[in-house]
């Protein structure tokens, strides 16, 4: 594969079968979730989160809670998700919450419990990538706020949300799954915005840690690269044109992949990094090697 990224990026794990948009077999309306099925999507008001909410609705979810910081976007997404729903008893709730504020985590947990009384899947999607040009500079020129804020939202936010929602997840008889949205940039050092890359690497390790800590309780935890999607505002394209040129994946790709990932228990992917670009049939064909060789985890090469 001429010009392909190196294998350690994970971008070509199921090559030559890779997808930039959801294949027909993964169309959410052609997949079926068990009933009842409640999903909380943190950072679900726009882009990947909003499209994921629509995917779960189309696949038959009965409850979807969506958080975000923009009330207008939340209202628009709620209407779109309700329109996409196929379950007659679908209940969509929105909550204004800032993933960077750890106090929001308990607000989300309280809202889920009071509204649905259960939780099957937490999609930890909220993340930030600074639009400050210094974020893409060498370390000595980086504004430290780019490190602190990025880590607070992308890592601490995901940790605190998982912590608050774990009691609900652990007591359910359903999917009992956490999905941490990460990025292929977590595998890079100097390329891109260092603070962002490191925060996403921390998310990958958090996924492994949660999976190990609660394996005996039946919890499944996955970190998912959603594809390379142009969801950031123009300043990012100006500061990182090479990244903007690579952003050719459909914003709805991730949602379709997530439905496939959680509609049944995939213990063999517990604690592992996966990509929405991968072909699921090819991925399943590698199941024995993935488990036997403990692949798709963060490791030092020695």
Residue 6 lies in a domain: no
Question: Domain holding 195: CATH number?
Answer: 3.40.50.720
* 38-42 and 121-124 strand pairing: parallel
Counting the structural domains of the chain, the total is 1
Whole-number pLDDT of residue 240: 52
What is the gyration radius of the CA atoms in the chain, in angstroms? 18
> Vertex 87, ends 53 and 56: CA angle to 5°?
20
Q: pLDDT (tens digit, 9 = 90+) per residue, 80-98? A: 999 999 999 999 999 999 9
Q: What is the pTM of this model?
A: 0.94
Residue 117 lies in a domain: yes
C-alpha–C-alpha distance, residues 293 and 302, integer Å: 16
Which token pair is 75? Answer: 């209202």
Domain span at residue 100? 21-285
CB-count exposure of residue 134 (10 Å: 0-12, 13-18, 19+): middle
Q: Under a CB-based contact definition with an 8 Å cutoff, are residues 81 and 51 in contact? A: no
Whole-number pLDDT of residue 247: 75
Residue 242 lies in a domain: yes
Residue 10 lies in a domain: no
Q: What is the pLDDT along the chain (302 residues), one digit of tens a residue?
A: 556 788 899 999 999 999 999 999 999 999 999 999 999 999 999 999 999 999 999 999 999 999 999 999 999 999 999 999 999 999 999 999 999 999 999 999 999 999 999 999 999 999 998 878 899 999 999 999 999 999 999 999 999 999 999 999 999 999 999 999 999 999 998 888 999 999 999 999 999 999 999 999 999 999 999 999 876 544 344 345 555 567 789 999 999 999 999 999 999 999 999 999 999 999 999 999 999 999 999 998 88
Whole-number pLDDT of residue 69: 95
Helix, strand or coil, per DSSP, at residue 223:
strand
Residue 177 lies in a domain: yes
Whole-number pLDDT of residue 195: 94
Residue 298 lies in a domain: no
Whole-number pLDDT of residue 258: 98
Whole-number pLDDT of residue 194: 93
CB-count exposure of residue 26 (10 Å: 0-12, 13-18, 19+): buried
Q: Which residue has the tokens 């949602």?
A: 255
Whole-number pLDDT of residue 235: 39
Helix, strand or coil, per DSSP, at residue 224:
strand
DSSP 37-63: -EEEEET-SSHHHHHHHHHHHHTT-SE
């Amino acid at each position: 594969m001429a010009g392909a990224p190196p294998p350690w990026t994970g971008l070509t794990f199921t090559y030559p079968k890779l997808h930039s948009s959801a294949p027909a077999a993964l169309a959410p309306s052609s997949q079926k979730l068990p009933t009842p099925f409640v999903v909380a999507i943190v950072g679900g008001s726009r882009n990947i989160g909003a499209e994921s909410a629509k995917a779960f609705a189309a696949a038959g979810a009965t409850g979807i809670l969506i958080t975000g910081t923009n009330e207008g976007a939340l209202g628009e997404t709620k209407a779109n998700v309700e329109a996409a729903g196929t379950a007659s008893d679908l209940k969509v709730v929105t909550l204004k919450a800032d993933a960077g504020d750890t106090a929001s985590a308990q607000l989300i947990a309280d809202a889920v419990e009071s509204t649905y009384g259960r939780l099957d899947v937490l999609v930890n999607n909220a993340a930030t990538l600074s639009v400050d040009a210094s974020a893409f500079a060498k370390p000595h020129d980086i504004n430290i706020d780019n490190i602190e804020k990025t880590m607070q939202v992308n890592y601490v936010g995901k940790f605190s949300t998982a912590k608050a929602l774990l009691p609900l997840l652990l007591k359910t008889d359903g999917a009992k799954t956490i999905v941490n949205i990460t990025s292929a940039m977590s595998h890079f050092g100097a390329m891109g915005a260092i603070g962002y890359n490191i925060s996403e690497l921390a998310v990958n390790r958090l996924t492994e840690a949660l999976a190990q800590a609660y394996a005996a309780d039946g919890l499944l935890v996955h970190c998912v690269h959603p594809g390379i999607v142009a969801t950031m505002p123009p300043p990012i394209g100006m500061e990182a044109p090479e990244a903007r040129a690579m952003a050719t994946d459909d914003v709805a790709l991730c949602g379709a992949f997530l439905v496939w990932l959680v509609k049944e228990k995939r213990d063999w992917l517990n604690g592992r990094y996966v990509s929405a670009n991968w072909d699921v049939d090819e991925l399943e064909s590698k199941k024995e090697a993935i488990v036997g060789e403990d692949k798709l985890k963060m490791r030092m090469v020695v």
